[in-house]
Amino acid sequence: MGKVKLGEIVEIKTGKLDANASDKNGKYPFFTCSKEPLKINQYSYDCECVLVAGNGDLNVKYYNGKFDAYQRTYIIEANNKKTINTKYLYYLVNSNIECLRKRAIGGVIKYIKLGDLKDIQVENIDLVKQINIVKKLDKLQQIIDIRKKQIEELDELINSQFVEMFGDNEKGFKCKEIKFKECVNQILKGPFGSDMKKSLYVPKGKDTYKVYIQINAIQKNQDLGDYWISKEYYEQKMYKYELRPNDYIITCDGTLGKLLQLNENMTKGVISSSLLKISLKENMILSRYFENIWNLYMLHQMSKNIRNACLTHLPSAKIIGDMEIPLPSMEEQKEYAKFVKQIEKQKSKIQTNLKQIEELQASLMDKYF
């Protein structure tokens, strides 16, 4: 039956508000570049639609109801709901998100061009077939959501054990506090953006160095990305940003504070301008303890230093280093790490099943779209 362009069958609007318009006590969802919506006390839209975060995570959401949106959020509505199903549009756009990410433009913060969104190809099939496709994909999505919920509950169990053993922000901690910089060998933010421009990248070669980017930490996958600098440029200007096994890379912009610990199989490389590198003193602080104190306490403390509600930035390495954190004995940290290891085994089984279901869903989306 042929294909048409997305722009021919939908209306695409953009939000009008600045990210600072959010209100944590608001009544309505406020869609920005963040994966989870913020809150707001007003709404400008009341519809069934597909929402695309034009920058940051570049994520896609389906929503039906009252909401408002940040100025870089695309709002997609079907021109005629008798011929196009909105949930079908959601799966369609979602199946094209990787292609859109590759075509995104900009520096540190990438954004999708409206024209690229409008140019997505849509198979011209009847509404009944669209609804049948949606039903199949929705069934798989329900299983995916259940598995993700199970993983969340196990993470909550890990967090509750942390609080039981060591305390929390509200009731106080049960151990002495020291400055975070005393627990680390290095805290370093990436180079200036001008020192890591795309024009400096080279094809992968025998002596090249990989440039690790935010997506590595966001998706917890050190193998993603295909940006490289030459050995000469590394030795000339980038050597101090080198990464080694067991180092942490942490997102500094947009999606705030996501972390990944690199393992022994990492490719030699450096951090990009949008990452923070942390190297722990392993005789003082264990990685499992650090990850929880980072997520449960340090990010909370840093929130006062965030300069923008949407395009967030971590504070300086100096501010992070000067933060005081509770540090229990190594014996207590090891006891906690043992508990976490047991829970992680259960999580691993669920994650394996989740991956299988997601791959099945992806294969169906490739077939349909």
Would you state the pLDDT for residue 309?
Answer: 47
Q: Could you tell me which residue, 180 or 34, shows the higher pLDDT?
A: 180
**CA angle at 336 for the pair 314 and 166, rounded to the nearest 5°:** 65
Would you state the pLDDT for residue 112?
Answer: 82
Would you state the pLDDT for residue 311?
Answer: 44
| Mean pLDDT across 203-214 | 94
Per the structure block, which two tokens stand in for 140?
């798989």
pTM over 0.95: no
Identify the H or E element spanning 220.
Answer: none
| Position 221, amino acid | N
pLDDT digits (tens, 9 = 90+) for 312-349: 678 889 999 999 999 999 999 999 999 999 999 999 99
Burial of 2 (0-12, 13-18, 19+ CB in 10 A): exposed
- pLDDT confidence bin for 104, thresholds 50/70/90: confident
Would you state the pLDDT for residue 304?
Answer: 62
Percent of residues, the chain, with pLDDT higher than 70: 95
Q: Could you tell me which residue, 101 or 257, shows the higher pLDDT?
A: 257
Would you state the pLDDT for residue 33?
Answer: 81
In whole angstroms, how far apart are CA 47 and each of 27, 66, 75, 76?
16, 7, 10, 10
pLDDT digits (tens, 9 = 90+) for 258-317: 999 999 999 999 999 999 999 999 999 999 999 999 988 898 888 765 544 444 678 889
Would you state the pLDDT for residue 247?
Answer: 97
Cα 195 to Cα 237: distance, rounded to the nearest angstrom: 8
Task: Please name each of the domains of the chain with its CATH number.
Answer: 3-125 (3.90.220.20), 128-172+329-369 (1.10.287.1120), 176-327 (3.90.220.20)
